[in-house]
């Protein structure tokens, strides 16, 4: 066996540990109203969803646009099973308190959210995974639309609350530890989404580094060659589709926790496009890239570029063009520049440990 | 690298702007304006914001305790959509506002609610009429009437005054305001002995012809569509070209000059319930119109003319309720304001405002208005009360 | 029964014709570039917004309508040159992502320009008037649409089968590389395709927004998707297929909106089931079924009209 330096791996672990420690520390020290935490919570959620989409689009070469649909399934399953029994009459006010009258622990509901999404992925995957790339894209997109309407249907009301909101289920803020007076003693509302996303992304990375992962990459690079090497195409594609949807479902549940309300209306095609663009900016085929670009994307859209939407006056001069919507125009232009001129995105197909490897090589030179 | 440099540059710009804004003489108390400025309810949100802005012009300062404070309005656009509401709400929270006003639209109010609650900031709903906004919440108050009341008023009016027996209800799927009001209307209307049919349309739908055919096929003698302004104008104009003659009934969202303009030149009877009728308070009317006349942007936001929407009046009253709460609290701290709010009473333009145990305004009457098909103005029909 | 169904058929034919005009753009571009031009629906929407602003500037209608069509065609041309041409040798996924990016950009630009508010489409005389046909009242545009669609399609088919540029288009869609080797100017053929597609989308937008006179940045998304489904349904690459598919989808979607009434009147259900909400979902269900059962669509094999 070839001897491999362990240094990059160790450095990676140190960086991850430092990030988690910093998140924990920041949460105890900074005021909880800071925009930073919004960005971190939503960023962690989007990171998981983007990585799950990258698993399909970047690592397996299946171009699916159903991500929002699977997130929606996850979000609904999580919300339906965690609303406390005493809140159900309020939430399901038009449906006599709804059908389900018990609630599950958060972790169980999270796993269930993923499983439900994976199950639907399995069902829809049976017919559509045979399709060619762009047909597959449009079929999965259509599937997401169908699911959205099905959830909104009045006759599904006792289960899904029809087109009305689900709310009052445990959100990220409920993870804070409070004392008897209801005052928060330890803030965990940002660390918990980081932990959930971290564990899930870790599992995806493990999968990608396993034999399965190599098989998926070979399908992406050349389907026919992969089949000739004895890889069962249908089986591996289905597996990748279901696993990706599982994590999209968990991501959807996290989004539900972040938003504090869930409604089928949120999960539009536009959301899928947004996630796809995050993946592209980060680099199709890089987990690190997807994570980085999720945080950048969320931070830029929610925080750093907000000022573009409001009138700004520098000195006595009013900055021209700035008004509602300008942020999104700037955003679109950045995205188009990335898509056209920096097609590799931030990371290309490199990962965090690769960065250290390259540095070491340069040092040797 | 270029991108990172750009972001850093942007950050510096933002910080320097923020730093400049602080230079003021009086201490500042911030009121959050949580309203849609874009999306389906953008037009309505802008009119509601106008009421708040006008009130801010009338009373730009407030005396809290012994100190005179300058009132600064912090606006956040919730995009009429519940998935954009959290970040807008979070923006207000991060700016440390003392109290929040809004929003137009019940769904976005509910979606933003938890964020205000967690930050201990009270909110006053101005025209969000769904009961869920305040139910079970100690931090959300409201100055308008509620949908069970409004639905009953509308059903009574439709059944007794218009003589309607079959009502066709049309709402947007996933809009809490539409769905709630239709539900309460249906209950009341069926309770009176009428028959109702209901359809939902998807967000961004623009083809209402088949829905209107449904209304005709069901033999409806009334169309009830308490939808966003954007949809109601389309429904009205399409109904007119489809030769529909039955009255179209709506809730407070339809009380906008934009909607009345859609009924202009048609033969559609458009009837709405609302909070305020222009002419009830001459001082408010004239002052507001004078402001619109000198501020072109405000005029544009009001839909291009100076008719006064009910929501504008509610924005005005809500602002003064907020000031009263700040004075009663004697502090700019959110929790103190929240504690002071239940006891606040003011005499607003829309009537006397006091809160009940849930935090809702105690109101027993609503105005019924009808669009004039020739002038495109609203005309007062009746003041309805429900016992 | 006929009286019950007729108004829905009428609405369906009208909207189907408008989808058809968008679907032709999809099917032509796909035929040549094998690219789903996700931005096509937004070009349609942009045509509507351009019309709103041109009409507001006081230009008389007989100038503004042709002007809109020309500008829309130019928009299509520019989009192709800026966003798709640089990616011609890149993997297909890149071009599709670029198309999604263009769609995102167009929507955001319009959001910025309009401030995110609905814009009222100008009233075009004659075709906006109401007219009574049998048991239903509708706008004149409802009748004008299918006639105009058929005329335009005939003209287009003639263009493709009789003219030199049409021959070049057919050649390029058959075999991209060989056509290039034979001395066909690929870029000008592709540009022509985008110009024709966008022009037709412009015509579609005038008809569509006359019927449903409100434009907002998301107005093009749903009609765009449905037109694409229509193109797939009819067999992508085939112009008559796209037109037939569009009419079928337009009619089906309106029949589903009225399904409750139809079932109720026929005595099959005792109370309405709220099925109207499924009108959009049905379109996509149809898409999945056709893709699985017959991926080439209704007219897929017929390659003679393929562009």
CATH assignment at residue C100: 1.10.3470
Tell me the average pLDDT across C250-254: 94
Q: Which residues of chain B have pLDDT under 70?
A: 1-24, 387
CA C221, CA B88: separation in Å to the nearest integer?
25
- Distance from the Cα of residue A360 to its chain's centroid: 32
Number of domains in chain C: 1
Distance from CA of A282 to the nearest CA of C (A): 14
Contact B214 C136 (CB under 8 A): no
Q: Which residues of chain A have pLDDT under 70?
A: 1-4, 358-365
The partner residue sitting opposite B197, judged by closest CB among C211, C216, C272, is C272
Angle separating helix axes C140-162 and C2-33, nearest 10 degrees? 30
Asked if B51 and B313 count as a contact pair (C-beta separation under 8 A), the reply is yes
Residue of A nearest to C275 (CA): A153
Q: Does B43 touch chain C (CB under 8 A)?
A: yes
Angle separating helix axes A233-259 and A191-209, nearest 10 degrees? 170
Please state the length of chain B. 387
Does C299 map to a domain? no
Residues B245 and B212 in one domain: yes
Q: What per-residue confidence (pLDDT) applies to C303?
A: 42
Tell me the average pLDDT across C184-198: 93
Does A12 map to a domain? no
Cis peptide preceding A94, ω within 30 of 0? no
Q: Does C222 touch chain A (CB under 8 A)?
A: no
Neighbours of chain C (3+ CB pairs under 8 A): A, B
Does A259 map to a domain? yes
Domain that holds residue A161: 35-266
Does C35 map to a domain? yes
Does A57 map to a domain? yes
Domain that holds residue C90: 2-293
Does C306 map to a domain? no
Q: What per-residue confidence (pLDDT) applies to A345?
A: 86
Does B18 map to a domain? no
In sequence order, what are the residues at sequence separation of 6 or more whose Cβ sits closer than 8 angstroms to the Cβ of residue A364?
A: none
R_g of chain A computed on alpha carbons: 22
CA C6, CA C130: separation in Å to the nearest integer?
17
R_g of chain C computed on alpha carbons: 20
Q: What per-residue confidence (pLDDT) applies to B38?
A: 84
Chain B residues within 8 A of C272 when measuring between CB atoms? 197-199
Please state the pTM of the whole predicted model: 0.90
Q: What per-residue confidence (pLDDT) applies to A98?
A: 86
Tell me the average pLDDT across C80-85: 94
pLDDT in tens, B232-267: 999 998 999 888 989 999 999 898 888 888 888 888
Q: What per-residue confidence (pLDDT) applies to C298?
A: 82
Residues B223 and B129 in one domain: no
Distance from CA of B333 to the nearest CA of C (A): 34
> What are the tokens at C67?
């002007």
Neighbours of chain A (3+ CB pairs under 8 A): B, C
Domain that holds residue B123: 26-145+282-355
R_g of chain B computed on alpha carbons: 21
pLDDT in tens, C271-303: 888 888 898 898 999 888 888 888 788 887 544
Does A208 map to a domain? yes
At C100, is the secondary structure helix, strand, or coil? helix
Chain B residues within 8 A of A260 when measuring between CB atoms? 86, 111, 113-115
At B29, is the secondary structure helix, strand, or coil? strand
Contact A273 C111 (CB under 8 A): no
Number of domains in chain B: 2
> What are the tokens at A228?
């000739």
| Backbone torsion region of residue B294, taken as left when φ is above 0, otherwise alpha when ψ lies between -120 and 50, otherwise beta | alpha
The span from the first CA to the last CA of chain B, in angstroms, equals: 68
Which residues between 255 and 284 in chain C have a beta carbon less than 8 angstroms from any beta carbon of chain A?
273-274, 277-278, 280-281, 283-284
CA A68, CA A264: separation in Å to the nearest integer?
10
Number of domains in chain A: 1
Residues B65 and B95 in one domain: yes
Does B58 map to a domain? yes
Neighbours of chain B (3+ CB pairs under 8 A): A, C
What CA–CA distances, in Å, run from A253 to A71, A134, A259, A324, B26? 7, 28, 10, 30, 46
CA B275, CA B363: separation in Å to the nearest integer?
10
- Partners of B172 in the β-ladder: B201
CA A253, CA B133: separation in Å to the nearest integer?
23
Does B344 map to a domain? yes
Residues B173 and B184 in one domain: yes
Q: What per-residue confidence (pLDDT) applies to A1?
A: 45
Q: What per-residue confidence (pLDDT) applies to B79?
A: 85
ipTM: 0.88
The partner residue sitting opposite C117, judged by closest CB among B42, B173, B208, is B42
In sequence order, what are the residues at sequence separation of 6 or more whose Cβ sits closer than 8 angstroms to the Cβ of residue C163?
A: none
> What's B202's DSSP letter?
-
Does B21 map to a domain? no
Burial (CB count <10 Å: 0-12, 13-18, 19+), residue B365: middle
CA C216, CA C107: separation in Å to the nearest integer?
9
Does A219 map to a domain? yes
In sequence order, what are the residues at sequence separation of 6 or more whose Cβ sits closer than 8 angstroms to the Cβ of residue B315?
A: B47, B48, B49, B50, B51, B52, B54, B55, B101, B126
Residues B160 and B225 in one domain: yes
Asked if C72 and C201 count as a contact pair (C-beta separation under 8 A), the reply is yes
Does C266 map to a domain? yes
pLDDT in tens, A173-219: 888 888 888 788 889 999 999 999 999 999 999 999 998 899 999 98
Does C257 map to a domain? yes
> What are the tokens at B281?
């308070």
Residues B178 and B211 in one domain: yes
Does C258 map to a domain? yes
In sequence order, what are the residues at sequence separation of 6 or more whose Cβ sits closer than 8 angstroms to the Cβ of residue C27?
A: C231, C234, C236, C237, C238, C239, C241, C242, C307
Does B89 map to a domain? yes
Please report, for the domain that includes residue B266, its CATH number. 3.40.50.2300
Residue of C nearest to A322 (CA): C112
Chain B residues within 8 A of C136 when measuring between CB atoms? 213, 242
Residues B303 and B179 in one domain: no
Contact B174 A306 (CB under 8 A): no
Does C298 map to a domain? no
CA A119, CA A253: separation in Å to the nearest integer?
16
Residue of A nearest to B12 (CA): A304
Residues B261 and B349 in one domain: no
CA B319, CA B329: separation in Å to the nearest integer?
15
Distance from CA of A164 to the nearest CA of C (A): 14
Angle separating helix axes C61-79 and C40-56, nearest 10 degrees? 150
Residues B374 and B264 in one domain: yes
Residues B166 and B258 in one domain: yes
């Amino acid at each position: 066996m070839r001897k491999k330096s362990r240094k990059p791996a160790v450095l990676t672990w140190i960086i991850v540990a430092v990030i988690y420690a910093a998140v924990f520390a920041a949460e105890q020290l900074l005021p909880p109203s800071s925009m930073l935490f919004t960005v971190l919570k939503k960023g962690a959620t989007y990171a998981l969803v983007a990585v799950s989409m990258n698993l399909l689009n970047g690592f397996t070469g299946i171009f699916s646009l159903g991500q929002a649909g699977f997130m929606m399934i996850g979000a609904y399953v999580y919300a339906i099973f965690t609303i406390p029994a005493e809140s159900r009459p309020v939430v399901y006010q038009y449906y006599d308190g709804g059908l389900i009258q018990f609630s599950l622990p958060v972790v169980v509901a999270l796993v269930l959210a993923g499983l439900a999404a994976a199950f639907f992925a399995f069902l829809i995957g049976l017919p559509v995974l045979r399709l060619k790339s762009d047909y597959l894209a449009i079929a999965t997109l259509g599937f997401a639309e169908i699911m959205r309407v099905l959830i909104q249907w009045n006759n599904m009301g006792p289960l899904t609350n029809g087109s009305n909101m689900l709310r009052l289920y445990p959100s990220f803020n409920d993870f804070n530890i409070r004392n008897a007076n209801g005052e928060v003693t330890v803030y965990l509302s940002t660390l918990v989404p980081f932990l959930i996303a971290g564990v899930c992304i870790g599992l995806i990375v493990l999968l990608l580094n396993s034999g399965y992962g190599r098989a998926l990459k070979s399908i992406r690079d050349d389907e026919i060659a992969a089949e000739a090497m004895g890889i069962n195409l249908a089986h591996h594609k289905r597996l990748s589709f279901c696993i990706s949807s599982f994590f999209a479902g968990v991501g959807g549940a996290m989004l539900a926790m972040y938003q504090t309300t869930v409604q089928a209306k949120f999960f539009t095609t536009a959301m899928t496009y947004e996630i796809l663009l995050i993946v592209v900016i980060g680099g199709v085929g890089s987990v690190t890239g997807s994570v980085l670009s999720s945080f950048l994307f969320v931070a830029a859209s929610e925080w750093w570029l907000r000022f573009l939407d409001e009138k700004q006056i520098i000195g006595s001069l009013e900055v021209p063009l700035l008004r509602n919507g300008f942020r999104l125009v700037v955003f679109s232009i950045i995205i188009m520049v990335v898509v056209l001129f920096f097609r590799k995105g931030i990371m290309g197909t490199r990962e965090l440990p690769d960065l250290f490897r390259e540095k070491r090589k340069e040092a040797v030179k | 690298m270029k991108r990172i440099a750009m972001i850093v540059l942007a950050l510096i710009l933002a910080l320097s702007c923020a730093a400049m804004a602080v230079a003021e003489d009086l201490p500042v108390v911030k009121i959050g304006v949580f309203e849609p400025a874009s999306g389906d309810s953008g037009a309505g949100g802008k009119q509601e914001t106008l009421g708040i802005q006008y009130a801010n012009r009338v009373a730009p300062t407030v005396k809290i305790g012994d100190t005179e404070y300058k009132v600064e309005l912090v606006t956040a656009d919730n995009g009429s959509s519940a998935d954009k509401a959290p970040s807008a709400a979070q923006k207000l929270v991060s700016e440390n506002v003392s109290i929040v006003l809004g929003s137009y639209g019940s769904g976005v109010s509910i979606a933003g609610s938890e964020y205000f609650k967690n930050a201990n900031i009270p909110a006053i709903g101005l025209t969000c009429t769904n009961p869920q906004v305040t139910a079970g919440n100690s931090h959300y108050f409201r100055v308008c009437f509620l949908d069970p009341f409004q639905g009953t008023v509308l059903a009574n009016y439709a059944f007794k005054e218009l003589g309607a027996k079959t009502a066709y209800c049309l709402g947007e799927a996933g809009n809490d305001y539409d769905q709630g009001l239709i539900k309460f209307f249906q209950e009341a209307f069926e309770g009176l002995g009428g028959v109702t049919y209901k359809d939902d349309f998807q967000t961004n739908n623009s083809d209402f012809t088949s829905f209107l055919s449904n209304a005709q096929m069901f033999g409806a003698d009334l169309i009830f569509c308490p939808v966003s302004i954007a949809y109601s104008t389309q429904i009205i104009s399409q109904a007119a070209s489809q030769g529909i003659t039955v009255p179209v009934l709506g809730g407070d969202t339809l009380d906008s000059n934009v909607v009345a303009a859609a009924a202009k030149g048609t033969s559609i009877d458009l009837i709405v319930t609302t909070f305020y009728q222009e002419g009830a308070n001459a001082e408010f009317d004239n002052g507001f119109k004078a402001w619109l006349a000198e501020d072109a942007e405000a005029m544009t936001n009001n839909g291009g003319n100076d008719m006064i929407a009910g929501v504008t009046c509610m924005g005005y009253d809500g602002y003064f309720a907020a000031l009263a709460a700040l004075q009663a609290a004697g502090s700019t701290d959110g929790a103190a304001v929240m504690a002071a709010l239940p006891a606040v009473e003011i005499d607003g333009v829309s009537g006397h405002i006091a809160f009940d145990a849930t935090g809702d305004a105690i109101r027993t009457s609503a105005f019924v208005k009808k669009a004039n098909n020739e002038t495109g103005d609203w005309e007062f029909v009746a003041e309805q009360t429900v016992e | 029964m006929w009286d019950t169904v007729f108004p829905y058929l009428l609405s369906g034919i009208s909207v189907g014709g408008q989808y058809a005009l968008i679907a032709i753009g999809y099917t032509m571009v796909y035929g040549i570039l094998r690219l789903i031009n996700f931005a096509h629906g937004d070009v349609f929407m942009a045509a509507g917004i351009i019309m709103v602003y041109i009409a507001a500037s006081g230009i008389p209608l007989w100038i503004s309508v042709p002007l809109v069509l020309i500008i829309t065609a130019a928009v299509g041309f520019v989009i192709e040159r800026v966003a798709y041409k640089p990616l011609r040798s890149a993997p297909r996924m890149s071009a599709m992502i670029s198309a999604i990016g263009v769609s995102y950009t167009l929507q955001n630009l319009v959001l910025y320009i309009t401030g995110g508010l609905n814009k009222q489409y100008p009233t075009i005389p004659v075709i906006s008037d109401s007219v009574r046909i049998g048991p239903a009242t509708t706008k004149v545009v409802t009748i004008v649409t299918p006639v105009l669609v058929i005329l335009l399609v005939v003209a287009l088919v003639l263009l493709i089968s009789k003219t030199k540029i049409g021959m070049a288009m057919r050649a390029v869609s058959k075999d991209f590389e060989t056509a290039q080797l034979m001395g066909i100017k690929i870029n000008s053929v592709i540009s022509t395709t985008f110009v024709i597609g966008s022009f037709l989308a412009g015509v579609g937008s005038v008809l569509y927004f006359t019927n449903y006179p409100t434009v907002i940045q998301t107005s093009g998304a749903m009609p765009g998707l449905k037109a694409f489904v229509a193109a797939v349904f009819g067999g992508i690459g085939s112009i008559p297929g796209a037109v037939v598919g569009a009419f079928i989808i337009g009619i089906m979607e309106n029949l589903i909106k009225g399904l409750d009434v139809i079932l109720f009147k026929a005595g099959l259900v005792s109370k309405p089931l709220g099925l109207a909400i499924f009108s959009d979902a049905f379109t996509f269900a149809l898409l999945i079924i056709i893709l699985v059962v017959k991926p080439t669509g209704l007219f897929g094999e017929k390659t003679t009209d393929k562009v």
